[in-house]
Amino acid sequence: MTQQVKRAFKYRFYPTDEQAAELSRTFGCVRLVYNKALEGRTRAWYGEQRRVSYVQSSAALTEWKKTGELAFLTEVSSVPLQQALRHLQTAFGNFFAKRAKYPRYKSRKKSRASAEYTRSAFKWRDGQLTLAKMAGPLDIRWSRPLPEGAEPTTVTVSRDSADRWFVSLLCEDTISPAPATDAAIGLDAGITSLVTLSTGEKVANPKHERRDRARLAKAQRELSRKAKGSANREKARRKVAKVHARIADRRRDFLHKLSTRLVRENQTVVIEDLTVRNLLKNGRLARAISDAAWTDLRMMLEYKCAWYGRELVVIDRWFPSSKLCGTCGTVAAKMPLNVREWTCECGTVHDRDVNAARNILAAGLAASACGDGVRPQRESSRTGRSSVKQETQRATAGIPRL
């Protein structure tokens, strides 16, 4: 059964000097309005315990434009400024609902330079996009076509740290579910192998950051030698940013291809609920863990499974997948990271990662059958063990090796 989803299509474009100047002014005004509105809300919340609504912030923006100090806000399109206030409203909504921390100010150097335009602020005609306050359309490189008959409802323009310009078009797209299959797969995330599958296959870790580490180090050394505020330092900064962008682009491309393949070939995908933020506290492995980008892989699996009618099962992070024998169900007392192969009391020799992936698959299938484990389960107050662990260890005991 097909479904309608909102899907963003991102393209690179090359602005003229006039367009680049206009967009740069817009980015600055968006950041200023966001920070000024956040300052007013912070003063009201911590000083008077009073919440400020979007309507009140919008009225304040109108008053700011009337002052001589902020009259330049009228020179750019008002729509991106209003969208910045809406984004701030969403951030405060998440904060009050305890889904996120208190909103932070946008930095000129560290924050992403972007502006969002709704239908009233851009013109889409004959496959050409013209933004408000601009005389001509953007020179977009159409690397892939938009869905047939689709028209963008929202346009987001951004510039990354490597001075590359991108435009993201949000469109309604029709997604058809993938053909049904009985296959199921378990994934064990790692560093040497990016993921190990329950079929025994190991997907090698491309280690994109390590491959470009020498180039990155050279660019960073050159940057450190430049005088702050000089034009040469800005050129050196862009070189560093381009190396980072190259690494990120290659990593994202690899993860998209891997996640698409896993979703197409399997009806059920089982993964662990890894707390990457805590794992990054390990100073020796933090760089390798960041390069692996497990969080990005999980995010891609989540939305692609939802799109194509697949089931994604996330098992408890405390499930001892590596220490559990998939043949007899015995749990080893200890399993240091340097142990890649171990022998159980029953005589079965296990490859650590393959055994973990098979246990993860069995745990996911057992949890899915009983309606448990799709979300991480905390430990039971009576037994001190999660229901997923108990159900899985019963289900995995005696499972023959594939």
pLDDT digit string (tens) for 249-264? 999 999 999 999 999 9
287 has pLDDT over 50: yes
Domain membership flag for residue 105: yes
Instruction: Tell me how many domains the chain contains.
Output: 2
Whether residue 388 is predicted with pLDDT greater than 80 in this model: the reply is no
Check whether 13 has a pLDDT greater than 80. yes
Instruction: Clarify whether residues 245 and 103 are in a common domain.
Output: no
Co-location of 200 and 162 in the same domain: no
pLDDT at 376: 40
Q: What pLDDT, in 10s, does the model give residues 309-344?
A: 999 999 888 888 888 888 888 888 888 888 888 788
Residues 191 and 169 in one domain: no
Residue 50, class by beta-carbon neighbours within 10 Å (0-12 exposed, 13-18 middle, 19+ buried)?
exposed
- Give me the pLDDT at residue 7, please: 92
Q: What confidence score (pLDDT) does residue 330 get?
A: 81
CA atoms 383, 386, 389, 395: torsion sign: positive
pLDDT score at 371: 63
Q: Is 353 a catalytic residue?
A: yes
Residues 85 and 188 both lie in one domain = no
202 shares a domain with 163 = no
CA nearest 158: which of 16, 10, 278?
A: 10
pTM, entire model: 0.83
Task: Tell me whether residue 139 is one of the annotated catalytic residues.
Answer: no
Residue 14's beta-bridge partner residues?
Answer: none
Of 118, 143, 175, the last residue of a domain is 175
Closest CA to 296 of 317, 329, 281, 274: 274
215 and 333 share one domain:
yes
Q: In this predicted model, which residue has the larger pLDDT, 128 or 192?
A: 128
Examine the domain organization and report whether 199 and 285 are in the same domain: yes
**Which of 15-29, 163-177, 311-325 comes out lowest in average pLDDT?**
311-325
Where do the DSSP E strands lie in 198-348? 202-204, 268-272, 311-315, 341-343
65 and 9 in a single domain? The answer is: yes
**Average pLDDT, rounded, for the chain:** 88
Which positions ≥6 away from 368 have C-beta within 8 Å? 268, 311, 313, 374
Q: What is the pLDDT of residue 197?
A: 94
- Host domain of residue 45: 3-175
The single residue of 188, 209, 372, 391 carrying the catalytic annotation is 188
CA 387 to chain centre: 30
Task: Find the mean pLDDT for residues 88-112.
Answer: 92
In the predicted structure, residue 385 carries a pLDDT above the cut 50: no
In total, the chain counts a number of residues equal to 402
Among 22, 316, 353, 391, the active-site one is 353
Q: Residue 398 has what pLDDT?
A: 41
Residues 169 and 285 grouped into a single domain: no
pLDDT value at residue 372: 57
The answer to whether residue 394 is domain-embedded is: no
272 classed as catalytic: yes
- Strand 202-204: give its sheet, edge to edge: 202-204, 193-197, 184-189, 268-272, 311-315
Catalytic residue among 272, 291, 316, 372: 272
Dump the DSSP string for 43-77: HHHHHH-----HHHHHHHHHHHHHSSTTGGGGGS-
The lowest-confidence range among 58-67, 157-166, 224-233, 333-342 is 333-342
pLDDT value of residue 109? 84
**Who's near 67: CB < 8 A, 6+ residues apart?**
none
Residues 296 and 213 in one domain: yes
The answer as to whether 387 is a domain residue is no
Note whether 31 and 161 are same-domain residues: yes
Band (396; pLDDT cuts 50, 70, 90) = very low
Structure tokens, 183: 């296959």
